[in-house]
Amino acid sequence: MPLQVSDYSWQQTKTAVFLSLPLKGVCVRDTDVFCTENYLKVNFPPFLFEAFLYAPIDDESSKAKIGNDTIVFTLYKKEAAMWETLSVTGVDKEMMQRIREKSILQAQERAKEATEAKAAAKREDQKYALSVMMKIEEEERKKIEDMKENERIKATKALEAWKEYQRKAEEQKKIQREEKLCQKEKQIKEERKKIKYKSLTRNLASRNLAPKGRNSENIFTEKLKEDSIPAPRSVGSIKINFTPRVFPTALRESQVAEEEEWLHKQAEARRAMNTDIAELCDLKEEEKNPEWLKDKGNKLFATENYLAAINAYNLAIRLNNKMPLLYLNRAACHLKLKNLHKAIEDSSKEFCSLEGIECQASEPKLSHHIPSDLHVYIQMA
């Protein structure tokens, strides 16, 4: 049960009441104040202060100030008069309960009204903000529409001006064409007149000077025929080069699938025969394939790792020395490394393998068969 506070002090004027209430060491945050027209309650556990006011007050304009362990109330009277006491005397419990309930109902109604007023004010603010936003958007839209209309008018004027310019240009071109046609017609008429005049003069001269006889005019006609015959065309030759093939038969007569199968079997047989090579002991099965080694060398050449590419081509040549592209690609690697003698040697071997000639690597006699543009070998086959 809370303890009633009785050590309070109050003073009054005709318009206001000043009430001082000690908090007695209670935290300010735990203080609860409830005030209506006829009821004032201060709850700061375990203490409680209640006052059933002598006359009604204006609770909306009244104030409460908390500080220095004291609450000071400034209660403004609705009617200017002096009170005999702060609280009404002779109030029983039922009347107190009715006053409390009435005060609570009044506070609730006032809070409800305040909430509704706040909600109404908020709606009004939102409505006003929405109307302002719509007005701004309408102005922006109108501004954009005006800009579009101005741009459309400008574009229409520019298009009309361009059409007018094109029309004038076409008219000018038409006039120029007509003038050129007139000039050409005049030139043609003049040329026809000249030709007609020349033909008339020639006929007159021929009639007056030509001797009598049947064959007198054949000399000129034969000469004209000789002048009109064109000269014979010059004789030339066309050189055709064919891509060398492994099999000498023509492509239309050969079976490409059977030939590739035969080459594959030959490569497998060579790999089986070369199993005694020491370098093949630690290699995988696909690494023993000359075609795989050739592709590996091409990739190393593309990354400018020429020494590793030469090693790959060397091992591929040991497995199959009948593949001309291996010598060709190795020659390109030597050419990049400035090993010119090695490049000539491999180029000679590649030429010999293409022509079916057996030659020694050390003989430079076949160097004249090497193409002059060795940079073509850099493009890997």
| 138-171 pLDDT tens trace | 999 999 999 999 999 999 999 999 999 999 999 9
Out of 146-160, 173-187, 252-266, least confident range: 252-266
pLDDT at 282: 64
C-beta separation of 328 from 371 below 8 A: no
Model pLDDT for residues 308-364, shown as the tens digit of each residue: 999 999 988 888 888 888 999 999 999 999 888 888 888 887 656 555 544 433 333
pLDDT at 370: 39
Model pLDDT for residues 265-277, shown as the tens digit of each residue: 766 666 655 555 5
Out of 198-202, 290-294, 313-317, least confident range: 198-202
Out of 28-42, 43-57, 151-165, 205-219, least confident range: 205-219
pLDDT at 148: 93
- If we measure between CA atoms, which residue out of 14, 36, 32 comes closest to residue 23? 32
**Total structural domains within the chain:** 2
C-beta separation of 334 from 344 below 8 A: no
Domain that holds residue 316: 286-355
> Which token pair is 310?
């030469």
For residue 51, what is the domain's CATH number?
2.60.40.790
201 domain residue, yes or no: no
More confident residue, 4 or 226: 4
C-beta separation of 50 from 104 below 8 A: no
Among residues 62, 87, 112, which one ends one of the domains? 87
pLDDT at 297: 92
Q: Which of 170-184, 202-216, 246-260, 352-366 has the highest mean pLDDT?
A: 170-184
349 domain residue, yes or no: yes
292 domain residue, yes or no: yes
347 domain residue, yes or no: yes
Cα separation, 101 vs 215, in Å, equals 155
342 domain residue, yes or no: yes
pLDDT at 30: 73
167 domain residue, yes or no: no
pLDDT at 200 over 50: yes
pLDDT at 204 over 80: no
98 domain residue, yes or no: no
For residue 348, what is the domain's CATH number?
1.25.40.10
pLDDT at 35 over 70: yes
Model pLDDT for residues 73-115, shown as the tens digit of each residue: 888 888 888 888 888 777 777 887 888 888 888 888 888 888 9
Among residues 30, 53, 87, which one ends one of the domains? 87
24 domain residue, yes or no: yes
Helix axes 256-273, 306-319, angle to 10 degrees: 100
More confident residue, 196 or 365: 196
Measured from the Cβ of residue 33, the count of other Cβ atoms closer than 10 Å reads 15
| Summary mean pLDDT of the chain | 77
